[in-house]
């Protein structure tokens, strides 16, 4: 139960970071995926490969890739706040 609580806390923190800090959210999503892979490698969860680790990491890497350009980040801020700099 502690593993699920920790993973959900990391995912929740990433979700709360998204509107203002999309790259930080991406890093937290990748960290959530890495956490699940680590827990799986230790053997604390079942023997099947963890699908949620791959999905969390893919979501995080997608955010990091999408917001790698400063122009994309500025457009996101303008859309989210309704202001342009």
**Containing domain of residue 28, as a range?**
2-81
Q: For residues 51-73, give the mean pLDDT.
A: 93
Provide the number of structural domains found in the chain. Answer: 1
What pLDDT does 25 receive? 95
Arithmetic mean of pLDDT over the chain: 91
**In this model, does residue 83 exceed pLDDT 80?**
no
> What is the DSSP secondary structure assignment for residue 84, as one 8-state letter?
-
The 10 Å CB-count burial string (b at 16+, else e) for 60-77 is: beebbeebeeeeeeeebb
**In this model, does residue 85 exceed pLDDT 80?**
no
CB atoms within 10 A of CB 80: 12
* pTM given for the model: 0.87
Percentages helix, strand, coil for the chain (3-state, rounded to 5) are 75, 0, 25
């Amino acid at each position: 139960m502690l593993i699920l609580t920790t993973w959900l806390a990391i995912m929740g923190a990433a979700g709360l970071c998204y509107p203002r800090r999309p790259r930080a959210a991406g890093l937290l999503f990748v960290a959530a995926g890495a956490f699940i892979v680590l827990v799986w490698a230790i053997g604390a969860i079942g023997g099947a490969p963890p699908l949620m680790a791959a999905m969390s990491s893919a979501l995080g890497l997608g955010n990091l890739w999408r917001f790698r350009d400063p122009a994309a980040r500025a457009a996101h801020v303008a859309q989210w706040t309704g202001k342009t700099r």
